[in-house]
Amino acid sequence: MSTTPTTLVRFRRRARIEHGAVMFLFVVLALTGFPQKFFPAPGAQAMVDAIGGIDRARWLHRAAGLCFAALLALHLGGAAWPTLKRRARLSLVPEGKDFRDAAAMLRYQLGTEPRPPLLDRFDYRQKFEYWGLVLGGAVMVATGFLLLFPLLATALVSGQLVPVAKVAHSNEGLMAFLVVVTWHVFNAHLSPEAFPGDTSIFTGRIARERLRHEHPLEYARIVGGGAPDPLPEAPWRAVLLAPLRGALLVMYLPGLGFAVVGRHLARRAAALASNLHFRRKEPAESAEPGEPPASAA
């Protein structure tokens, strides 16, 4: 009888608790923020009344925002400190391989690449989501504090930043909501690999076969007993450059998608146009000398 476990550890307790807290705070912020953003919309007033009035909605929104700011600070500190002490590495920071993997995966999905790239513990899609959340969360926290303490803020910076912060806070919240309900929900729950839902972030464990299929490099390292990834030689430099590299990936993926898909569609359109042109000329060229083409009959 085989004693090989059918599941492997994917996430530790701390990561699962942080994910659960982000989920809860995200829902609270959305339910209390959107009725204020879209107050003329049908149903907005009913939602505010269900919460207990506009004052309670604003209080809950601010309390959830402060909790989110504290959670973001604890998370970033908990990630940076072990790296600075050379006890861990920032596994979610994009590397050159992630940018190449994104292009290779897109070509594979378009049928121009024979096989998908081999992915490690966190692939480029998960890093894109992570840094979208971190950088977007930083914008939400900064603009939220500016709106929460406008008099204190305008004593330090220009008062014109207050209306700018209001627009940025509102639009960033809407964009975060749209990204979660489209990109994240599809990848984590509706994609063919995850359907009907990825429970690894809740249970902490992932099916052995699924890990081998989706993250073959990590699977080979775990099963083969390979050496872990090397720690950064310059931890301060790695921590300081992490947000920049994350922002580059966040900006890179949409541009890559437009470029690769656009080029693919252009080539397909050119091939189709060439094929149609060839078919139109073929009857005239195949007609016998002295005979009219078939189209003239």
pLDDT, tens only, 232-255: 778 899 999 999 999 999 999 999
Q: Give the span between the Cα atoms of 88 and 229, in whole angstroms.
A: 9
Comparing CA positions, the residue from 190, 214, 188 lying closest to residue 202 is 188
Q: How confident is the model at residue 98 (pLDDT cuts 50, 70, 90)?
A: very high
User: Within a 10 A sphere around the Cβ of 10, how many other Cβ atoms?
Assistant: 20
Place of tokens 């003239």: 296
Q: How confident is the model at residue 278 (pLDDT cuts 50, 70, 90)?
A: confident
284 near 295, Cβ under 8 Å? yes
Indicate the average pLDDT of the chain: 88
CA-based torsion, 212, 214, 216, 221: positive or negative: negative
Q: Of residues 192 and 55, which shows the higher confidence score?
A: 55
Q: Which amino acid is at 48?
A: V
Percent of the chain with pLDDT over 90: 59
- Cis peptide leading into residue 35 (ω within 30°): no
Element (H, E) at 147: helix 124-148
What pLDDT sits at residue 294? 52
Comparing CA positions, the residue from 264, 286, 232 lying closest to residue 93 is 232
Q: Of residues 139 and 276, which shows the higher confidence score?
A: 139
Q: How confident is the model at residue 282 (pLDDT cuts 50, 70, 90)?
A: low
Q: Give the span between the Cα atoms of 152 and 142, in whole angstroms.
A: 13
Q: Give the span between the Cα atoms of 187 and 26, in whole angstroms.
A: 18
Angle at 164 between CA 159 and CA 167, to 5 degrees: 145
Q: Give the span between the Cα atoms of 255 and 234, in whole angstroms.
A: 31
Enter the tokens of residue 92.
Answer: 């979610």
Cβ-Cβ contacts under 8 Å for 120 (sequence gap 6 or more): 97, 215, 217, 218
- Tens digit of pLDDT for each residue in 155-200? 888 889 999 999 999 999 999 999 998 888 888 888 887 788 888 9
Q: Which amino acid is at 152?
A: L
Return the SS3 of 93.
coil
Q: Give the span between the Cα atoms of 190 and 197, in whole angstroms.
A: 7
